[in-house]
Structure 1
């Protein structure tokens, strides 16, 4: 007698492909490994599979890395759940405990100079994902995400011991391609295994929207909604979202990035709306830096950089242009995993809330200030809640109990260990005029064209080193200068070459949806209005309700 056994495939055996339940024919086990959605077993095989499942749980749960909400450390989920949800139901961000971070051994670090970016990514990410994705599957996904011909990574020596890591050569010419390509492949893997569908909601201050849209474009199980602040991103950045069509829906929003991000968070936390619209309360998920699927791959950058500039466990400085603090938080995780980083420099523009917090211990959110480094026009970085958590603190956004809108962002419920944070991280602001001064100076001295974000990384490193480039250091260059031609012309007198993909998009038709309702004006700056929320919900219902 045979019976259908549905609660094991493809999860338990697929998670541990090297073992076969005793007594089961190899051919049946092989089918399980290929991820069949159900299998037919006889009684003896069913008993064997159930016994194997119990053995697997006993052996693997002890080593499983789990993730908790920054608003509730007691509720643990695995990576798949955190990825599919995007944000925790209590509006917290999923975070890994510092005590659970895997440690990369010195021997593995010593082998990395001969590895490709995809191989290094496997060494860094497999400890987080190995209990949920078979090793060979993960290798395949990472090799596909980080193919050298599609997204090459270059570390360029500039002067002394200072280098620039160019994270700018992917499909949308931004560092966001790295995390977006990982995110898209992981999400697609789990959705296909479950037979599910998701709407990925993203807020962008510049490059995130294009990178995520490119990574998700055409995926049959995913729709992508992108919110961008009207008039605050470049034409090229906008067209990377608005010319794709198909399953990509780009919305221009009246207000700044913080309004867009509040709108995305509101939708992500509104399970009632998702249930009403789709019959699935968890249909919305995120690909912003609030997503764990965006955070973990950002821990790979510093390992790759280190493999190209340092040896024998010598210390390295990482200088990071910082907006939503995803790159910086990924580098904090890398340091916690054993990477020898002496100091993390978090450079910001004129939105200096974080450096002032490091200095004074007081966190005050003010209206955001426009800047040439447009992707960093962020007054309240979303990953700050994770950073606070890592150093023993707790931060949350206070919400109206009825509307669930944010009424007070960045409330510190428990102070982090500021002394330890200051030991690891230095943060300073760069004025708008200093962006252009730095771009001009670096071009005149070294013949290197920086974009405004890279200029922040250079300026803050040079300030920290007092102009002496005598310590191993890597600056993260996060966007191709060709994405900011007006700024480059203002700095050095001529425009850089426009990347070929952006040349093609310049002549393509755009599809833009507009949220015309106005945000609220408050002493703390622009704030998402109820009218904007309702207008967004109405448009999404018209576009996606089936």
Structure 2
């Protein structure tokens, strides 16, 4: 598999190199030079989950890793299901929160850990990543206890849910967590600064596990196929997918799945009031505003890193960007959507509820809608209970860590301080 840097097309790397390197020159994202297409999608969808994932990834990676090797990797990484749940006659929910940290990021984080275990050759590696909530937990748990790998996770202090924080900031060991006195965009900017520091990169073997890493996106492609495999054949051809969108990695993976031949009719990019992309789609002007804190905190991103990949996909596939659905919701509208889902007998948290509501407003007669449920409702226990005015049960992975002491460092959004921490590891 060859990938090119979106900012410097002449910089081309293998999948292995892209995973180990994370970002290209000038913080450019890597993008595949070709995307394979399956002619007989039904035959692919008839395979079991792990066999299908191995076949998809072998094709996407142009057999850089064998199908047998990938089968072993996904069998170790994807030890949990991605079930489809019927919400209404016309709408289904794809539940991506059945992994160890109860969020969709478990798919990408655990597959990336398998990749680095395969590629690192025993060399010391430092994983540096920023999180608006779920990435940090997934990455920390995926790499926890692995030899020769240190993980440093930056997150905006006071702007992720308390249970999200407890899930990954209580591990210790090879996991260092840093509460940054700013927002997610500032955390992400510090990660980018670290990657621009060539001396630092060489000294600590720097890598990133954000969705900027191509291994994360490759893993996420798999669950779109798993969703379609669970639908009756007559619903597949009229499938509309609504994606809760913050950093836009999930939408990127879905678009790659479509490019590979999965019959998704169209996508809806559903955001909260951090609406840089919907405004851009409406006006053609890229005008990020200061990030606002919302109920759907994992989507509190004003400058989504993966957007250049989305635009590149539309360009290289010959698709019309105007066909990408969009929708913006306030916290009040989000709360009403959580209540509406509850009235249908489905318990959901704010991110999935935003995707559901936009789907209900944009779905046409004869279409089947699918929305992504990216996290377990209990990860947002306080806000969901406040909205629904009743207690919700905490699953064991959260309950086991709820009373543990936070081990996070605290610092301002100061790269010099972060650099010192990284060099001490």
Classify the TM-score, shorter chain: over 0.9
Partner of 2:217: 295
Indicate the residue corresponding to 2:247 in structure 1: 324
Aligned to 2:54: 122
Query: Is 2:322 the counterpart of 1:430?
Result: no
| Equivalent in 274, 289, 309 of residue 366 of structure 1 | 289
Report the counterpart of residue 70 of structure 1 in structure 2.
6
Say whether 1:376 aligns with 2:329.
Answer: no
Aligned-residue offset at 1:130: 5.2
| d(CA) in 2 for partners of 1:334, 1:534 | 40
Report the Cα distance in structure 2 between the residues aligned to 1:134 and 1:298, rounded to whole angstroms. 19
Aligned to 1:460: 358
In the other structure, the counterpart of 1:48 is none
Which of 25, 41, 58 aligns to 1:89? It is 25
Report the CA distance shift for 1:112/1:132 in structure 2 as closer, same or farther (over 3 A).
Answer: closer
2:62 and 2:4 map into 1 onto residues whose CA distance is: 18
For 2:346, the equivalent position in structure 1 comes to 448
Q: How does the TM-score come out when normalised to structure 1? A: 0.75
Distance in 1 between residues matched to 2:65 and 2:217, nearest whole Å: 18
Task: Report the alpha carbon displacement of residue 310 of structure 1 after superposing the two structures with TM.
Answer: 4.1
Q: State the alpha-carbon separation in 2 of the partners of residues 114 and 134 from structure 1.
A: 21
2:407 pairs with 1:511: yes
1:309–1:472 CA contact under 8 A, matched in 2: no
Q: Which runs of 5+ in 2 are unaligned?
A: none
Specify the alignment match of 1:19 in structure 2: none
Report how far residue 121 of structure 1 moved. 1.3
Distance 2:238 2:226 in 1: 14
The answer to whether residue 176 in structure 2 is matched with residue 249 in structure 1 is yes
Distance 1:447 1:94 in 2: 42
Match of 2:78 in 1: 146
Q: Which residue number corresponds to residue 103 of structure 1?
A: 37
> What residue in structure 2 maps to residue 224 of structure 1?
151
| Per-residue deviation, residues 311-355 of structure 1 (Å, max 9, x unmatched) | 166231111101100110001111111111111011000111111
Instruction: Give distance in 1, aligned partners of 2:98 and 2:173.
Output: 25
Contact 1:243–1:510 under 8 Å retained in 2:
yes
Give the C-alpha shift of residue 112 in structure 1.
4.4
Deviations 1:248-291 (A, max 9, x none): 0000101100000011111122112233x44xxxx111100111
Task: Answer whether contact 1:117 1:146 (CA < 8 A) is retained.
Answer: no
**Does residue 346 of structure 2 align to residue 346 of structure 1?**
no
Structure 2 counterpart of 1:485? 381
* Cα drift, residue 539 of structure 1: 1.9
What is the CA-CA distance between 1:235 and the residue it aligns to?
Answer: 1.2
Unaligned 5+ runs, structure 1: 1-64, 394-415, 520-531
- Asked if the contact 2:22–2:212 (Cα under 8 Å) also holds between the matched residues in 1, the reply is yes
1:212 matched residue in structure 2: 139
Does residue 190 of the first structure (1) align with residue 89 of the second (2)? no
- Partners of 1:116 and 1:508 lie apart in 2 by 39
Cα gap change, 1:329 to 1:310, in 2 (>3 Å)? farther
Q: Secondary structure at the match of 1:73?
A: coil
Alpha-carbon shift at residue 114 of structure 1 (Å): 4.2
Q: Would you say 1:134 and 2:66 are equivalent positions? A: yes
Deviations 1:144-200 (A, max 9, x none): 1112xxx22210112122100100111000011011111110111111xx3322111
Q: In 1, distance between residues paired with 2:196 and 2:20? A: 13
The equivalent of 2:420 in structure 1 is: 538
Separation in 1, partners of 2:22, 2:217: 11
CA shift at 1:75, angstroms?
Answer: 1.9
Contact kept in structure 2, 1:317 and 1:473, CA below 8 Å:
yes
| Cα distance between partner residues in 2 of 1:171 and 1:438 | 27
Q: Distance in 1 between matches of 2:341 and 2:67?
A: 43
Does the 8 Å contact 1:482/1:495 carry over to 2? Answer: no
Aligned length: 424
Distance 2:361 2:406 in 1: 42
Is contact 1:201-1:268 (8 Å) kept?
no
State whether residues 289 and 383 of structure 1, in contact with CA within 8 Å, keep that contact through their aligned partners in structure 2: yes
Tell me the SS of whatever aligns to 2:405: coil
Question: Residue 207 of structure 2 is aligned with which of 258, 265, 285?
Answer: 285
State the TM-score, normalizing by the size of structure 2. Answer: 0.96
- Sort the Cα spacing of 1:310 and 1:269 in 2 relative to 1 into closer, same or farther, 3 A: farther
Would you say the 8 A contact 2:19–2:116 is kept in 1?
A: yes
Q: Residue 494 of structure 1 aligns to a residue in which SS?
A: coil
